[in-house]
Chains A and B, each alone.
Chain A
Amino acid sequence: MRTRLLFAFASALIIVIATALIAIALDDKGDADGALTVNDAWVRETIPVDDDAGVVTGAFMQIKNTTGATDTLVSTAVDPAIATVVELHETVVDVNDRMQMRPVEGGIPIPANTTVDLKPGGYHVMLIDVQRTLTPGETVILTLTFESGTVITVEAEVRELGAMGNMNGMGGE
């Protein structure tokens, strides 16, 4: 009697473990069909100017990579009627609370199976030599090119000057 019970228990355990292992394996394989997706893309509004000095603003977004392979955002483009120069930058605040922004050499890495946040205080797209005032509610089309060859077009909404997006969990107002 006891032997039979033991046998049943052992079988059940093996089935449970096997199912779990299969599920894990399948899950990994599933990611090979994954994708790069961009969410919550936004551009900070620009203040109206009546002079010729350049205007600069930033674009932010979340890039989710479920492809199982690391990729890199190598460039972003926008209609030249919006801005004539677009760069990828990173903000670093050091231990002395000094802020530095620098162009990112080689592009922004998007590791496999992660979401990279382009947000205030970190990576962001710089729109430079902005040609006209961008006001909240408008949409700016951004074209993102990745090292893998993937090209994604996003509609980024223009948000007000103090918008924070997903900044370090601070959220909105």
Chain B
Amino acid sequence: MRYRALLIVLAFGLAACGTEGIVTPEPTLPGTLLDPPKVVGDFTLTGQDGEPFTLGDLRGNVVVLYFGYLSCPDVCPTTFGIYRQTVARLDEAEAAQVRFVFISVDPLRDTPTRIANYVHAFHPDFLGATGDDATLRTIARDFGVFYQRVDYDNDVNYLVDHTASSFIVGREGNLRAVVPYGTLPDALARYLRLLLAD
């Protein structure tokens, strides 16, 4: 009798865990490796060179996407500083197969030229893009990114709340990992190596 009750509890417990979704990698790595990987739609924005930027064109590389804006003096530049330090930890062959992309969710102020000046201040190979609000909204929904303009008591400035995580797309084009703001270069490099080896 007692054993039956135990089995029932166990069964419920296992069922509650579910099979879909999320595996936390080795305990020392922050963030989540998605299992299974999330299929995300391809998209085209305007790149920092003014030409179309299509995510699918980067297939074969591991792509780190960040959604932010240039009038953010804090979280956004420090993240790209971390990206720069991360590249320094990769060898030449690895670095050649990784792309870092700044997607601005503030197209009103962040022109392609501004974005180019910004990303290139960190690394000559970093990329950037932006586009119209409708396209950005679709991409954000697909990736699970939140962003929201916030007006406040100020005539010359507004703020943009946004998800500060890094979104890592694998070589096959699926979303493979979401890594929190502040993740250190060593941990990020380990994610990249994991996905490069895949």
Contact = CB atoms under 8 A, between A and B. Distances in A.
Interface string A49-63: 111011111100000
A67 to B, nearest CB: 28
Interface in A127-159: 127-129
A161 B72 CA distance: 11
Contacts of A87: 154
A129 B156 contact: yes
A51 B70 CA distance: 14
Interface string B58-74: 00000000000011111
Contacts, number: 114
Contacts of B111: 51, 53
Contact of A96 (B114, B118, B146): B146
Instruction: Bin chain A's interface residue count.
Output: 35 or more
B118 A161 contact: yes
B122 interface: yes
Interface in B108-124: 108-109, 111, 113-114, 117-118, 121-122
Interface of B: 70-75, 77-78, 80-81, 84-85, 108-109, 111, 113-114, 117-118, 121-122, 146, 150, 152-154, 156-157, 159, 161-165, 180-182, 184
Interface of A: 44-45, 47-51, 53-58, 84-85, 87, 91, 93, 96-103, 120-121, 124, 126-129, 160-164, 167-168, 170, 173
18 contacts: A47-B70, A47-B121, A49-B113, A51-B113, A84-B156, A87-B154, A93-B181, A97-B164, A98-B164, A99-B162, A120-B75, A124-B73, A124-B74, A129-B156, A162-B77, A162-B80, A167-B78, A168-B182
